[in-house]
Amino acid sequence: MENIKNTKGLSGFGLKYIALISMVLDHIHYFFEFTGRIPIWFSWVGRIAAPLFLFCLVEGFIHTHDRVKYFLKVYVISVIMGLIQFGFYNLLSGFVRGDGFIPANSMLQSFVILMVVMQGMDMIAHKKILKGIALTLIPIILPFIFNLAVYMPLMASNNSTGLFFANLINYTVLPLHTNIIDGGTMTLIEGMILFGFSFAKNKKIRIYAFLAFELFTGFVIVGLMMGGLSLNVLFFEAYEWMSIFAVPFMLCYNGERGKGSSKFFYFFYPAHVYVLYALSILVFTVVR
């Protein structure tokens, strides 16, 4: 594929740093909202974080020289974070905040599923049809197969041990997009749009397609679900539509990697989540 290369604009690392700042603001609101002192605009600004990181993931996947290594980096961290999240629900109750709040930051699991699907889509584009269809469809339909073949029988037989290990598997080595709160099915669709339209000669088409999807889901779908939209709904309840403000930054992308350390982002994401969560536990004990 032809790169978008300009002398001006934002590099991949430039986009990541913008995403990182907005993510931290969003997570400050997420972890400390209970204090009533964190303004909601922190979360509004945070709506651009996931789309920008998603865009960078797709770009990285397209241009990396070693997709397996790229996948494994994301996968290993997602497994570790999934194990910690599972632990909060089952084994680490003593470390749960007093109000029962548990961090559900599992965006990397969404990225892992997407990377498998993107590889399948790429194989289809390069005429490896059967393998490509398999890699594309299996992650998409796996949740439904798993529910029918595993969860429903275990629940019918009231097999608590089996359910324990089935959940452990889904939280770690085999994530299911329908079970992920942070991203999940929506992120999978968004990523498929960004990757699928990247085969077009005009690379900005994928960004406009992403924008159209966000507007449709943010206004039409949410409006139908809530029986209509109001300013209160749009700004205080269902403000995921604000992800559209990531689009101008995407359009400024110059096709270059830029200068920076990818390792920093791999470590920063889980580190800041658990540091903020630990701080929120300390603050909760003081204010409550």
Percent of the chain whose pLDDT exceeds 70:
98
Is 1 inside a domain boundary? no
Is residue 150 scored above 90 in pLDDT? yes
Given a cut of 50, is residue 226 above it in pLDDT?
yes
Q: How many helices (H) and strands (E) does the chain have?
A: 14, 0
Instruction: Report the C-alpha gap between 77 and 137 in whole angstroms.
Output: 24
Q: What is the pLDDT, as a whole number, of residue 224? A: 83
Residue 5 lies in a domain: no
pLDDT digits (tens, 9 = 90+) for 198-219: 999 898 999 999 999 999 999 9
Give the model's pLDDT for residue 201. 86
Alpha-carbon span 136 to 86, nearest angstrom: 27
Task: Give the mean pLDDT of the chain.
Answer: 94
The domain total for the chain is 1
Residues in the chain: 288
Evaluate the CA torsion angle 31, 33, 36, 38 in order and state its sign.
positive
In a domain, 28, yes or no: yes
Tokens 């399948």 — which residue?
120
Q: Is residue 3 part of a domain?
A: no
What single string gives the DSSP state of each residue in the chain? ------SSSB-HHHHHHHHHHHHHHHHHHHHHGGGT-S-THHHHHHTTHHHHHHHHHHHHHHH-S-HHHHHHHHHHHHHHHHHHHHHHHHT-GGGS-TT-------HHHHHHHHHHHHHHHHHHHTT-HHHHHHHHHHHHHHHHHHIIIIIHHHHHTT-HHHHHHHHHHHHTTS--GGG-SSSHHHHHHHHHHHHHGGGSSSTTHHHHHHHHHHHIIIIIIHHHHHTS--HHHHHHT--GGGGGGGHHHHHTB-S---SS-HHHHHHHHHHHHHHHHHHHHHHHHHH-
pLDDT at residue 7, rounded to an integer: 57
- pLDDT at position 3 over 70: no
Q: Report the distance separating Cα 127 and Cα 227, nearest Å.
A: 45
Position 258: which residue type?
Answer: G
Judge whether 253 lies within some domain. yes
For residue 163, is it within any domain? yes
CA atoms within 13 A on the CB side of 57: 32
What is the band of 1 on the pLDDT scale with cuts at 50, 70, 90?
Answer: very low
pLDDT confidence of 122, banded at 50, 70, 90? very high
The domain of 193 spans 12-287
